[in-house]
Amino acid sequence: MQKYIDVNRMERRKRNDKLIEYLLIDPFNSYNSGVTQYILLSDKILKSKGTRSFVLAKDINETLEGFCCRIATFVKENTVLEIEAPETLATTRYLTHEKIHIRLHLSRQVGRYLQGFPIDYKSAYLEQNEINKAYRVSAPSQIALFLSKKIFNIKKCDIYPNPVEAIPNKISCFQGVASSNGKIYFIGRGDSLKGLMFLKIFKVFENNIICVGDSNLLKFLNKNNLNVKFINGKDRKYLSLLTSSDVVIIPSLFETWSMVAVESLTRSVKVVTWNHLGFCEFFYSPLLFKANFPNEDEFIDLVKKALCFKVSDKLVMDMNCNINNINKFFFKGVTENYFCFKNRYYDEVLIRNIKNISKKGRKNRFKSLTRKFFASPIQFWRDSFVVRFLKKIKNKK
């Protein structure tokens, strides 16, 4: 198998101080972005293994076009052996490098397709071009590849997991914490993709759930008269809130990986989710409870079961072994053409269910707007005008 590190790399280092063995491109540069977290952790692990890696991230006020041009200039001015970039936004469009590695983090266009929204074919075309010219394509899960193929033509793809940061656990945290004290956390954006249309789950646990997220999540809670505790989660301080007696719910329509789920499991926090989410392909633990999508009643029953489940020291040690194996698969995947996953069967029934649930969510949104219109027509049109005006200003920037 071909490795990306040249045999003569030590000699190259002596001749060229600007040598970069592995360049990671981050078009989001947001602490709350799963892609950014993946890139930062990948860089950390690669450096720990002696690889000369470097992260090139988009500046806050930089345009996408400006960032793409800066990438091309940077690669021209440095000796770069391999470049990894996400398919979404096609940031490598101006590169002619022979070793561009495209990682499928799930394009926005795939998300639009699954939600029944119009696809931006210009963006999809640019992303397909980058996939075509890549010397290798990889994905963090089989579901990531399965969903991406609904939009893109992908002939060959390596599948290996994202890296996971091991969190040292203190044994004292797990000495018989009463399950009755456990809390339920929903952590995520106020976005339909995160499973907000599964309103029944939120209503059943209304008195025991804590929602951590953005202003859109708060709006969702207020609109549906959900009397739950809300915490602004933009700074990611939620991680310090979690204990082994708690449960994190991930009712997302789909996830190629899910940083929230992984960060919870690494802290020995119980997670309830759907069985088709990407990280489920690599985590094998009694701490992970998987419901059949989209069975809300089964999901609710598993949350109740998880609340009563007691975390032991052995489960903590087993989780650490699971994490070590995932990181071995990751590093082997980066350095070689590597295909690693337990065979799973995803079919059109799953796609149909995702689309139907998304459609149901849009209908509920339409009903809500209709009620608002008849209750207060003047306020309805005033709000609509303000939203359109703010969008125009944002687009001009």
Over 80: is that where the pLDDT of 183 sits? yes
184-323 and 20-159 share a CATH fold: yes
pLDDT tens column, 159-180:
999 999 987 654 334 333 434 5
For residue 31, the model assigns a pLDDT of 84
pLDDT at 170: 47
Please tell me the predicted confidence (pLDDT) of residue 4. Answer: 37
Q: How far apart are CA 365 and CA 359, in angstroms?
A: 10
The per-residue pLDDT for 6 is 40
What does the pLDDT look like over 61-102, one tens digit per residue?
A: 999 999 999 999 999 999 999 999 999 999 999 999 999 999
What confidence category does residue 233 fall into, taking pLDDT thresholds of 50, 70 and 90?
A: confident
Class of domain 184-323: alpha beta
Q: What is the pTM of this model?
A: 0.83
Q: Is the pLDDT of residue 384 over 70?
A: no
Domain ranges of the chain: 20-159, 184-323
Asked if the model's pLDDT at residue 391 lies above 70, the reply is no
Q: What pLDDT score was predicted for residue 13?
A: 44
d(CA 149, CA 108): 13
Q: pLDDT tens-digit profile of 295-332?
A: 999 999 999 999 999 999 999 999 999 999 999 999 99
Q: What CATH number was assigned to the domain covering residues 20-159?
A: 3.40.50.2000
